[in-house]
A = this chain, B = another copy of it.
Amino acid sequence: MARTVNARGRPSGRRRGDSGTRAAIEAAAARQFAEHGYDRASMRSIALEAGVDPALVSHFFGSKQRLFVAVVELPFDPAQAIPVLLEGDPAEVGERLARFLVGVLENEAGRRRAVGLVRAAASEAEAARLVRALVEDQLFAPIAEHLGADNPRLRASFVGAQMVGLVMARYVVAVEPLASLPADALVANLAGLLQKLLTGPIEG
């Protein structure tokens, strides 16, 4: 990190290290995702702000979606998770999603990241915008859209509300008996709620 600051502060022409370039891109991306939202931020504008060639952004992060995941530090990669969740009977997508999300949250590192995101969203406008972009664009909307139900984005935002509330109630506020409910029972109850939100009737 110190090298980045030095390199940016002194226009000496000295080659910036990989870790410095990566950090500069992530800083620019975090600012632009928070300020403009996921859709309006572009690889090109992020590269411009970071002072690097757009090809370098692709080289380090592959795609805008992967750059976003790196910046918000999601506890998992939607690009890997979503196809698996969509395989199989649509009548059981709620259970697959519940099992996956509870698995992430019951893992210590996953829970720490999720709690950090939710806590940050409650207090900082920038983090709130990142979480909003995440919920709207990256995670639940693709699932709802693939299922072909009406109002996919409204469904996605209700699923997001459900998960933020669960993180708050079980891990932050520790409301009993939800906080000490065994993971299997949590999956069973959450499955029904998510199935209803993803494929049940909804008023838009």
Interface residues, chain A, CB within 8 Å of chain B? 118-119, 121-123, 128-129, 131-132, 135-136, 151, 153-154, 157-158, 160-166, 168-170, 172-179, 181, 185, 188-189, 192-193, 196-197, 200-204
Instruction: Flag if A154 contacts B177 (CB, 8 Å).
Output: yes
User: Nearest Cβ distance between residue A177 and chain B, in whole angstroms?
Assistant: 5
A176 CB contacts on chain B under 8 angstroms: 132, 136, 153, 157
Q: What is the oligomeric copy number?
A: 2
Instruction: Flag if A168 contacts B177 (CB, 8 Å).
Output: no
Closest to A187 in B: B203
Determine which of B160, B168, B170, B200 lies in contact with A118 in the assembled complex, contact meaning CB atoms within 8 Å.
B168
Instruction: Flag if B161 contacts A178 (CB, 8 Å).
Output: yes
Instruction: Flag if A161 contacts B168 (CB, 8 Å).
Output: yes
Q: Is the interface of A mostly helix, strand, loop or mixed?
A: helix
| Cα distance, A192 to B193, chains bound together (Å) | 10
Instruction: Flag if A168 contacts B121 (CB, 8 Å).
Output: yes
| Cα distance, A163 to B166, chains bound together (Å) | 10
Instruction: Flag if A178 contacts B165 (CB, 8 Å).
Output: no
Instruction: Flag if B161 contacts A169 (CB, 8 Å).
Output: yes
Q: From known contacts A161-B178, A164-B165, A188-B203, infer whether A172 and B122 are also in contact, taking CB-CB under 8 Å.
A: yes
Closest 5 CB pairs of A and B: A165-B165, A161-B169, A122-B122, A157-B178, A161-B165
A175 CB contacts on chain B under 8 angstroms: 131-132, 135-136, 157, 160-161
A157 CB contacts on chain B under 8 angstroms: 169, 175-179
Q: From known contacts A188-B203, A189-B203, infer whether A178 and B166 are also in contact, taking CB-CB under 8 Å.
A: no
